[in-house]
Amino acid sequence: MSTIGDVARRAGVSTMTVSRVINNSGYISQETRERVEQAIAELGYVPNALARSLRFKQTKTIALIITDITNPFFTTVARGVEDTASEHGFSVIFCNTDESQDEESDYLTLMVQKQVDGIILVPAHSSRASAAFLQDHKVPFVVLDRRIAGMELDTVRCDSEIGGYQLTRHLIDLGHRRIAMLSGPLLVSTSADRLAGYRRALDEAGLEHAEFFGSLSNADGYRMAREALTAPQRPTAFFAANNLVAIGALRALLEQGIRVPQDLSVVSYDDLPESMIFDPFLTVVAQPAYDMGQQATRLLLNRLSGIDTTAPREVLLPAPIIARKSSAAPPGTNP
């Protein structure tokens, strides 16, 4: 509540002298320093970061714009971002867009107003509007997890096409011939890429597609699974576009008494954190969520500090398949 002026008055010096004590800059006699420090302590003075930011044009704050902090993948990403940012003296403002383009652009405007130094963005759609907006306003940013087509941008992500291909191959190699894709929206680049990988693997093997579309939610996972189960030739495996979809699908299977993996295999994208699972079950492509957050933040901070002035670059992190109990040979196969 007290200002640098209050401290100055109490110590009988000018505000500039107090400022010098606080920032340890310039010359100050030992005696004055002590008097100022005492005044600071007595008043419980804390510098006003707002005024400082206004002068320095630096807020030491970044924004993390994600779709849903409740999704454990993004929770872990967020933790990686916050840890890395705070290590370097930066604070993080969180924004949940719920995959809505409108929410996203509202938040972007707000963050520009708030003069955040940089932004880490998981774009709701692969539209270029958000990136263009930030470029216009000269706010450094890093795109996380997803692609924005046709623009050269700093990006940290995993290759979902390859992951989708490998996960599908894993099922094919186990002997599956009818594999249903429970996909997210095509506007979400990771969904589109995973679907593309799925198609490539099926086409190579000469198998037929079975594609279902919905949002990347538990509810739609449930719905898509039920739809897929009504097909005359029931699939022997599900490829869920992400963990929420997978869990929704598993719920549908449980309800209908379909055993996993004996009757039907399920594979999915994004692992659950180790600390939350005592008996890992799902076969997944495990994206390194914490690392992704960390690397995105590092890249952003290096841009901010001017350490890194190279052309925008895409960091592609490896995402291993972890084969577990939810995938096995289809029923009626001799192992």
Partner DNA sequence: AGAACATGTGTTAACGTTAACACAAACACT
Partner DNA sequence: AGTGTTTGTGTTAACGTTAACACATGTTCT
Site for DNA in 91-110 (CB under 7 A): none
* Window contacting DNA (CB under 7 A); options: 16-24, 73-81, 176-184, 229-237: 16-24
Residue 48 near DNA by CB under 7 A: yes
Judged by CB under 8 A, the residue of 19, 101, 218, 302 near a copy of itself is: 218
Instruction: Return the residue matching tokens 């010359």.
Output: 27
Q: Which is nearer to DNA, 58 or 262 (CB)?
A: 58
Q: Give whole-number Cα distances, 213 to 118, 196, 198, 208, in Å.
A: 34, 14, 14, 16
By CB under 8 A, is residue 36 in contact with a copy of itself? no
Q: How many residues bind a copy of itself (CB under 8 A)?
A: 55
Would you count residue 117 as binding a copy of itself (CB under 8 A)? no
Residue 72 binding partner per list a copy of itself, DNA, none, with a CB distance cut-off of 5 to 8 Å that depends on partner kind: a copy of itself
- Beta partners for 216? none
Choose, by CB under 7 A, the member of 28, 112, 129, 172 that binds DNA.
Answer: 28
Element (H, E) at 239: strand 237-240
Question: Among 27-35, 42-50, 143-151, 304-312, which window interacts with a copy of itself (CB under 8 A)?
Answer: 42-50
Residue 229 near a copy of itself by CB under 8 A: no
Element (H, E) at 325: none
Sequence-distant (6+) residues with CB within 8 A of 99 are: 67, 68, 124, 185, 188, 215, 216
Q: How far is the CB of 306 from DNA (least distance, A)?
A: 17
Q: How far apart are CA 107 and CA 304, in angstroms?
A: 20
Give which of a copy of itself, DNA, none residue 251 binds (C-beta under 5 to 8 Å, depending on kind).
Answer: a copy of itself
H/E stretch holding 57 = none
Contact status: 24 vs a copy of itself (CB under 8 A): no
**With respect to a copy of itself, which residue has the nearer C-beta, 134 or 180?**
134
Of 11 and 249, CB closest to a copy of itself = 249
- For 213, the token pair is 């579309």
- Cα–Cα distance list, 277 to 4, 72, 141, 271, 280 (Å): 52, 12, 34, 10, 6
The Cα–Cα gap between 76 and 291 comes to 9
| d(C-alpha 184, C-alpha 214), whole Å | 5
In the numeric block, which tokens belong to residue 224? 């898509």
**Window contacting DNA (CB under 7 A); options: 44-52, 124-132, 266-274, 278-286:** 44-52
46 makes contact with a copy of itself (CB under 8 A): yes
Helix (H, G, I), strand (E, B) or coil at 157: strand
Least distance to a copy of itself, CB of residue 72, Å: 7
Q: Which position among 26, 273, 312, 331 is part of the footprint of DNA (CB under 7 A)?
A: 26
Structure tokens at 207: 């198998």
Q: 261 preceded by cis ω (within 30°)?
A: yes
Residues forming contacts to a copy of itself in the complex (CB under 8 A) are 1, 44, 46-51, 53-54, 59, 61, 68-70, 72, 75-76, 78-79, 82-83, 86, 91-96, 109-110, 112-115, 136-138, 217-218, 243-244, 247-248, 250-251, 254, 272-279
